[in-house]
Each structure stands twice: as structure tokens, then as C-alpha cells.
Amino acid sequence: MTETSEPSRKPADDDDVVLTPPQHKSAYRRWFGRLDPALQLVLMQLWMPVFMCIMFVLCYVGAFHQLVPHQVPIGVVGTAAQAEIFQARADHAAPGGFDFELVRSPEVAGQQVKAGELGAAYVVDRNTIIVASAHQAQAAELIPAMITPLFGAASPPRRVDVAPLPLGDLGMTPMYLMLAWCISGYLCAMFIGLMGGPLRRRSRFRIIGVVGACLSFLSAFLTTFVLGAVHGHFLALWGLGFCWAVAIGVAVNGLSYFVGRFIALPAMGIFIFLSIPASGAAMPKWFVPPLFGWLNNVVAGSGITEMLKRLIYDVGPGYQRGWIMLFCYLGIGLILTLVRAALLGVAEDSPAAQREDHHVPRRPEGQRPQDRP
């Protein structure tokens, strides 16, 4: 008696069709699917105005709706006892608002105010408040009005501006140039992330570099020669704008590998909604909520603004801090790009990487082009 065996089953290969039951659609999905395709596209993009509305209110209204001093450094040219008296009065009138520190001479106080290390300084024997409008025009107006009652002088202190703004200049040019450079960098990289997924790294970097060079030239040309807002710094403006646009573009490009088509959220959040209130360009960092005051140490807008103030008005801490921040953003973008390449696990120039970059599906071995699965 021969033993019967079941016919052998052919192992399923990649070409076998697997039938799956249709997915259950919710009432919302059935309703949405019946809408006009154009209306569907519009509705699917409404997350952008919702996001912008929420972030504008939280970041701008939240930062600027109430000006409260937070540990504003005030220099005192006088005695230690006088500084302690002023500090005690400040702690009673506005707890945590002002930090008085002793400065040895009016000249040193003027230098520190001009560099942004002090919000203002008070020379006791001269009854004088030292400010620097070119570094922070709002601080030069707000701080003297707030600290004058603390001194108990018989007459209002005399106001000395060690870095006045040019006549008619409101000091807003650095903020708007900073905004233009941030937008140039992040929008270029954002659109690459949204629509340039198949592009390889070198192509992405070329686009970021060319766009950064063109837009920074345009902003410097308009600011210098058309509007006359800045005089004699065209090449420096172009160079700084190019460096920052590229650094921000590379950083956003690195992020786009990990968040894909949602790159607009972190890009706008970091370089617009958080950077502007925390930059110190629109309002002194000592008068915004503590979160934005801390972010002043890391946001790109802070580094750009301080570099521009040094270039245009010769005030602020100098260029070193700005260059460090620039290279940090550039380095973060390059690291994210390399991490993505390492996670991909293939060399970019290999055929496998080219198929991945250009979304070319790999045909199963032995299948002819005209064969259908």
C-alpha cells in the first residue's frame, strides 16, 4: 500500500496577490471622500493657518502683552552701600526685577551698557543714567522710567546716551534683516523637504547655497542702495546674510529628513515664532517671559541681531557669539544629514541609493518589464 501525500504547495513569492478585506471607513471619512477633490486639497492644508494662528498668539502676544522686568542688570557708579540701598528698594517695589551691581567708573559703565552687559547704569554723584539706544532703543526708554523712583534724587536724573541712533533711525533695521535672512534659509530648505524628496544631498546643498547667495545679495542691495537704511557695509551684509541663510537652510534640510512633509512646523516654530520674541530685537530680553529670555541664548535671531548691531551701530557683544551660533546650526544640520545617511545604510552614489533617492521600484529577479504582478 503506497502512502499518499498531499500535493506540495508552492511557496508564496512576492508576486502573489494577497486579498485583504476592505477597511472600515468612518462616517467622517465617507463624508470627506464625497467632497470635491479641490475642496479636499484646500481642507487638508488648513492645518497651516490654524498652526500660525495658535503660534502667533502664544509666542507674540504671550511675549509682549505685558512688560515685566526680569533681573535687569543695572550698574551703579558709587559706593557699595548705595548699591545695597537701591537693591533693597528694587526688591520691595519689583521683586526679581533688577540686579544692581557696583561699577568702578562712568567710563567702564558706558562700555558695559554699550556692549549690552548692563541694561543701564547710574552715576550717583552726577545724578546721571547711562543708556545705549543703538543697542536697544526700547530698553533706553523703559529702564530709566522704571528705576528713577528707586534713587530718591531731589531732581530727575540726567539721561546720557553713549550710543545714540542716527537721526530718524528707529533701530529696527537689524530685526527686519534678521527676519529676511531666516526666511531665505528656512523657506528654501522647507520647500526642498516638501517637494524635493528625491533630490540627493549634493543637489540640496547646491540649491541652498545658490538661493542663499541670491537672496542675501538682494536684501543687502535693497537695504544699502535702494532704501539707504545702511551705509557702507554692502559686502559685509551680503556675506553675513549668505552665511546665515546657508546655515539655517542646512539645519532645516537636516530636520526635513526626519519629519518629511511636516517640516513647516519645526522650521517656522524655531526660526520665526520662537526666534523673533527671544532675539532681543523687538523687545529687550529682560522684559519678556523667562522662557524667551533663556531662548535668547540659543535662537538664531539673537546671534544675527547682535552681529548686525555691531556691524551697523558698533554696539553689542561683538561677532564671536554670533559665529559660534552660526556654526552650531550648520553643524547640527550636517550631523542630521549624516545620521540619515547612516540609518539608510547605503552609500549615496551606489545604485541602491539612487533607486531610493529617485523612488525607482526594484523589479523582482526574473520578472520581465511587461509582466504584471
For residue 127, the domain's CATH number is 3.40.190
Mean pLDDT, the chain, rounded, equals 87
Average pLDDT over residues 102-121: 96
Domain match, 145 and 193 both: no
Rounded distance, CA 243 to CA 226, Å? 22
Q: Which pLDDT value is given to residue 236? A: 96
Domain match, 208 and 257 both: yes
Percent of the chain surpassing pLDDT 70? 86
Q: Which pLDDT value is given to residue 372? A: 44
Rounded distance, CA 308 to CA 240, Å? 9
Domain end: 105, 132, 161, which one? 161
Q: Residue 180 half-sphere exposure, CB side, CA atoms within 13 Å? A: 23
Q: Is the pLDDT of residue 353 over 50?
A: no
Average pLDDT over residues 13-21: 56
Q: Is the pLDDT of residue 42 over 80?
A: yes
Specify if 131 maps to a domain: yes
Q: Is the pLDDT of residue 6 over 90?
A: no
pLDDT band at 17 (very low <50, low <70, confident <90, very high): low
Structural domain boundaries enclosing 144: 72-161
Average pLDDT over residues 31-40: 84
Specify if 91 maps to a domain: yes
Q: Which pLDDT value is given to residue 44? A: 83
SS3 200: coil
C-alpha cell recorded at residue 227: 532704501
Structure-model confidence comparison of residues 372 and 309, the more confident one? 309
Q: Is the pLDDT of residue 273 over 90?
A: yes
Rounded distance, CA 242 to CA 213, Å? 5
Average pLDDT over residues 340-359: 57
Domain total of the chain: 2
Specify if 18 maps to a domain: no
Q: Is the pLDDT of residue 371 over 80?
A: no
Q: Is the pLDDT of residue 168 over 70?
A: yes
Average pLDDT over residues 129-151: 94
pLDDT, tens only, 58-92: 999 999 998 899 999 999 999 999 999 999 999 99
pLDDT band at 106 (very low <50, low <70, confident <90, very high): very high
Specify if 20 maps to a domain: no
| Reported pTM | 0.81
285-289-290 Cα angle (round to 5): 80
pLDDT, tens only, 173-204: 999 999 999 999 999 998 888 887 788 889 99
pLDDT band at 357 (very low <50, low <70, confident <90, very high): very low
Specify if 139 maps to a domain: yes
Average pLDDT over residues 361-372: 46
Domain match, 203 and 336 both: yes
Rounded distance, CA 35 to CA 58, Å? 33
Closest CA to 175 of 229, 214, 121: 229
Instruction: Report yes or no: 267 and 260 within 8 Å, Cβ to Cβ.
Output: no
Specify if 96 maps to a domain: yes
pLDDT, tens only, 195-235: 877 888 899 999 999 999 999 999 999 999 999 999 989 99
Closest CA to 286 of 139, 161, 171, 162: 139
Q: Is the pLDDT of residue 3 over 70?
A: no
Instruction: Report yes or no: 367 and 15 within 8 Å, Cβ to Cβ.
Output: yes
Domain end: 161, 189, 214, which one? 161
Q: Which pLDDT value is given to residue 25? A: 72
Q: Which pLDDT value is given to residue 50? A: 92
Specify if 345 maps to a domain: yes
Q: Which residues pair with 130 in a beta bridge?
A: 121, 160
Q: How many CB atoms lie within 10 A of CB 172?
A: 12
Domain match, 152 and 180 both: no
Specify if 231 maps to a domain: yes
Domain end: 137, 161, 185, which one? 161
